[in-house]
Every structure is written in C-alpha cells, then in structure tokens.
Amino acid sequence: MGKYLSKMPQVLPLKIDIYSLWIFLGIIQALFLAYFFLFGKQAHFLANKFLGVLLIAFAAALSEILLCYTNYMFRVIWLIDFAEPTNLLFAPLIFIYHKTLLGKQFKKSDWLHFLPFVAYIVYLSITFYSKGYPEKYNAYLNAYHHDTLPQLTCEYTFPEWIYLIRDYINELMLLQMCVYAGLGISVLREVSNNERMSFWSNQNQTFVWCRRGQLYSILATIVFVVTKLLFPHDLGDHFIAAYLTFLIYGLSFTFMNQPEVFTPRINKKYEKSSLTSEIQENTLEKIQLVMQNEKPFLDSSFSLPSFAKRLGVSPHHLSQILNESLGQTFFDFTAQHRINEAREMLSSPTFNHLKIEEIAEMVGYNSKSAFNTAFKKFTGKTPSSFRTS
C-alpha cells in the first residue's frame, strides 16, 4: 500500500444532478416498501420478510453510492464502505425470497447462505472499520477520485495480501450472482416440472412473478459486468444504482396493481389452523409422489376428502396446503393434472384413434364441455386444435 504525499485532506463540491435525485427517490421508496413487508399485513408471510430485508439492503447500498457520487462522502468519511457487505446479501436474499414464495420450506441449513455476508463484516471490522481517518479517506479516493486528489500519508498495519479480498470483492460478488442465478433457475424449473407446466407458462401468478424477478436479477448481473468493464474503480456505480431504483419502482407498481402476488392466499378459515410447517412439508412430498405414481385424478370421483384420507391429513389442512403452497384451489389443482395428462395423450400417436370425448373420460371428465373449458383455460387452445397443431 505504501505512503502518500499529502498531509491535508481535500474535498470537492457537491454534485447534484438527475442521477442523484433518482437514486435518492429509490432509497425513500425502498424503505417505504420495506416497512410494509416487514411490519404490515404482508409481514406474516415469511417470503415477504426476506423481501423487506432485501429492500433495506438495497437502500443501504444506494445510500452509499449516493454519498460517494455527490461527493458528500467527504463530509462523512467514516461511512465509506459501510454498505459494502450488503453486496453479498443481494443474491442469497433474492434466491431465498423466490424459494419460500414458491412454497419451499426455509430450513436451518438455509442460514448458511448468509455466511459470506457475516464473514465479510468480520473481515472489514478487523482490517478497515477499526482504522482511522487517513485509511478511509484514501479508500474513498481510490474508488471515486483516483488520480484526481493526492492521498493522505498513512501506514497500513497489515501485509498487502490481507487486502486482496477487498480488492477482488467485485469479482467475488459476480461469482456469487452467477451461482445463485443458476440455483434460482433450477428452483423454477423444479416447480414447473412438478406442476407439469411450461417454464414460460402464465397460469400461476406467483410463478410468473418469481420468474420475472429471476430474469431481472440476471439482467442486473449483466448491467453490473458492463458497468465495471466500461468504468474504472466505482465511477459507474450510479448507473447500477439507477437500475436498482428502476427495479424498486417496478416492485412498487406491482404491489399497487397486483397485491395478491405478495399476499399469501390464506382464507379466514385458515387463520386458526393447527397446520405446522412440518406437516405441510411432509404432505407436499406425499402429494408429489401420489400424483406422479398413482394418478388418482384420473378417477372421475376424485375428491378433496378422499385425497386427504389417502395422504393422512384432514381435508381442511389439504385445502390450506394447496392454497398457500401451490396457490391453487383443489378444483384447479385437479384440473391442471388432468389437462397435463390429456396433453400427453393428444400429442401421442398411440392415442390417435381415440376421440376427444374418450380422452376426456380417460383423464377424469364426464362432460366434454367441462373438459374443453378446462383445457382452453390451461393451454389457450381447444383439445381439437391442440391435437391438430
């Protein structure tokens, strides 16, 4: 690290422009939304708690970028890099938010996702946060005013290799973002396969919301890479902050127009339910096995009470599990499996000799009109046009 020439710190005038105003609005909106997700009616849903924490992390990161971009950091130099550890929170929080929103249980082992964040805080506390004014002043100049102002003279107490983690934090963050992008896509594919629907299906609003969020996260990774390639050090971070603000306002727009995406589908009849997370998780596994291996939905007499009895739970609990974890009523749950089965039969040469009415009866429908209605709802086509195509 070495010594530097200047003995007196220098400051630059404040810079206020459209970027600084946009980022400031993003901070306010992020905190406003975080309050609702952490303390409002939506807070009883675990996924929304993770979303609230993610918004606070966004607000912290945006605040530091705003202070640095406007040069106000010269006046509060002790805050430099205060939000840098949140860089390691974004990807895990997005992944866990989507995972829990899609009905996956949050396990104790999931806390390990936050280990890099905690480890980096400890690392910075030892190597940087505990240091004096000169080290922090120089850190700000290195990031935003490299070769513009002379740095202060100071001695660094640790050998240079200790600081390699800080020097490569952007690369570590990029690696983490790529890993979690893969994990996020795998969870979405698992859900789409379990529900026998296309990855690009629009029939489940919660799934559509999570898929869109994952794609925006991947786009954020691209914005991050392009910005770091085009601008040295952190000089382009205001573009990244502008994109984050765009996402925050997009989230606000969805919250106002589609609040059901953020609100668990819990009817009043479930408010005093005795259903535990353990029962819910075990039942979801049984549902998947029974529906795949036994296909009870092919029987036209398939009903909620009979299915609940087969799973070893009460009809009330089964209805709650389908609503909360899969976002479906028993009627839609049954129809979706029947239509998926019908699609396979209609697209297979083995069943070409069968009429539409016969296939409808084989998948559990006694009425051709009911079959046609359900088929068009889930596929957008009539059975005959689907078979032709």
Render pLDDT for 3-62 as a digit per residue (tens, 0 to 9).
Answer: 445 567 888 999 999 999 999 999 999 999 999 999 887 776 788 899 999 999 999 999
Residue 223 and residue 295 in one domain = no
Q: Stretch 247-262: mean pLDDT, rounded?
A: 88
Residue 181 and residue 294 in one domain = no
Per-residue pLDDT tens over the stretch 285-333: 899 899 999 999 999 999 999 999 999 988 888 888 887 777 678 998 9
Residue 323 and residue 228 in one domain = no
Q: Stretch 178-195: mean pLDDT, rounded?
A: 90
In a domain, 198, yes or no: yes
CB distance 188 to 210 below 8 Å: yes
Residue 284 and residue 223 in one domain = no
**Which residues, 6 or more positions from 5, have their beta carbon under 8 angstroms from its beta carbon?**
150, 151, 153
Residue 73 and residue 175 in one domain = yes
Give kind and range of the element (H or E) at residue 364. Answer: none
Domain that holds residue 356: 277-388
The rounded mean pLDDT for the chain is 88
**Among 191, 226, 261, residue at a domain's last position:** 261
| The token pair that represents 14 in the structure block | 């404040």
> Residue 263: which of 45, 94, 51 has the closest Cα?
45
Checking if the pLDDT of 266 tops 50, the result is no
Query: Identity (one letter) of the amino acid at 336?
Result: Q
Residue 370 and residue 320 in one domain = yes
What CATH number does residue 105 fall under? 1.20.1070
CB atoms within 10 A of CB 141: 23
Per-residue pLDDT tens over the stretch 121-167: 999 999 999 999 999 999 999 999 988 888 888 877 788 888 888 88
Model confidence at 277, pLDDT cuts 50, 70, 90, reads low
Compute the C-alpha angle 382/191/286, nearest 5°. 100
Domain count across the chain: 2
Residue 327 and residue 222 in one domain = no
Residue 77 and residue 164 in one domain = yes
Model confidence at 222, pLDDT cuts 50, 70, 90, reads very high
In a domain, 83, yes or no: yes
Checking if the pLDDT of 272 tops 70, the result is no
Highest mean pLDDT: which range of 173-187, 336-350, 367-381: 173-187
Model confidence at 265, pLDDT cuts 50, 70, 90, reads very low
Residue 101 and residue 186 in one domain = yes
Per-residue pLDDT tens over the stretch 87-123: 999 999 999 999 888 877 777 789 999 999 999 999 9
Alpha carbons within 13 A on the beta-carbon side of 198? 8
Predicted model pTM: 0.69
**Among 216, 232, 261, residue at a domain's last position:** 261
Is residue 169 helix, strand or coil?
Answer: helix
In a domain, 108, yes or no: yes
Task: Report which DSSP code applies to 150.
Answer: P
Residue 251 and residue 284 in one domain = no
**Among 261, 296, 313, residue at a domain's last position:** 261
Residue 284 and residue 369 in one domain = yes
Maximum Cα interatomic distance, the chain, rounded to a whole number of Å: 90
Residue 73 and residue 173 in one domain = yes
Checking if the pLDDT of 270 tops 80, the result is no
What CATH number does residue 301 fall under? 1.10.10.60
CA distances from 212 to 36, 177, 209, 359 (A): 21, 16, 5, 35
Number of residues that this document lists for the chain: 389
What pLDDT is stored for residue 259 in this prediction?
79
